[in-house]
Amino acid sequence: MKFFIDTANLDEIREAYNLGVLDGVTTNPSLMAKEGISGESNVRAHYKEICNIVDDKVSAEVISTDFEGMIKEGKELAKIDDKIVVKIPMIKDGVKAIKYFHSEGIRTNCTLVFSAGQAILAAKAGASYLSPFIGRLDDISYDGLQLIEQIVHIYQTYGFETEVLAASVRHSMHLIKCAEIGADVVTCPLKVITGLLKHPLTDSGLAQFLADHAKAAGK
């Protein structure tokens, strides 16, 4: 399973990368705004800074919602760095754009996916990644993890090459469950990844080891 971090914060990206487990980054206009990044040139410069930190796979989202606009914007984003994956919304013109970019050898991440039907369309069009939003589905009393399991089953049945990228991952158990049901990628805040480190028995065991060492050393 690949770990992506869902942020535009450079310090968080560096921390995740230095931990040795980071495979990529996902961003969106909301995350850019959260970091105070505005203006087309500033946003693109920020994407380049992210690419300079990680090894590959930086999802950069288009703003346009029409086919021509997405193609123009996606091409410009792809020029920033070879690591860029163009993030496209799951709408009719978005599916067309995914097909176009696939034919041009430009990787895409189909975002805002909430159903298996949408997942099938994205895979048929040639999306590199598919981002079902499990936390947002949970918010409306639908089992987001069940959708991940359904999509994984469909993709495996028909041999689709699109990777299932579980998004809107809210906590560490979301991540673990995604691993259990076969998601290819999870993208989440840094705290979800570092949350995997925590266990009370690890803390108490280490404290006991250190106490025993200190006692043996006569401290």
Question: Which residues are known catalytic residues?
Answer: 87
Nearest Cα neighbor of 5 from 35, 29, 31, 30 is 31
Interhelix angle 40-53/67-80, rounded to 10 degrees, is 50
Picking from 5, 1, 42, the residue whose alpha carbon sits closest to that of residue 26 is: 5
Amino acid at 150: Q
Q: CA nearest 185: which of 106, 85, 105, 43?
A: 85
